[in-house]
Amino acid sequence: MKRRPSPGLARGMHCPVRWDPFFKDFMTLADVYQYPTQHFDFHRRQLTLGNGR
C-alpha cells in the first residue's frame, strides 16, 4: 500500500452489488483492498459466541 501512489487508489470500476453486502455500485482500488477485512470481521462477529465485540 505504501508503494501505490494515491491517485492509483482512486481508480475503480462498477461491481455487482448483489454478490456481497459490502460491494458498492462503484468500488475504488482502496475499497477493494479494504473488502477482505470487512468481510472477515462481518463473519467473525456472526460466529463469535458470547461477548464478541
For residue 9, the model assigns a pLDDT of 83
Where in 1-53 does DSSP place strands (E)? 12-14, 26-28
DSSP state of 51: S
For residue 5, the model assigns a pLDDT of 66
- CA-CA distances (angstroms) from residue 44 to 24, 31, 34? 21, 20, 16
Q: What percent of the chain has pLDDT over 90?
A: 49
Q: Which of 32, 37, 38 is nearest to 15 (CA)?
A: 32
For residue 49, the model assigns a pLDDT of 81
Band of residue 52 on the pLDDT scale cut at 50, 70, 90: low
Instruction: State the DSSP H helix or E strand holding residue 19, giving kind and residue range, or none if neither.
Output: none
Band of residue 27 on the pLDDT scale cut at 50, 70, 90: very high
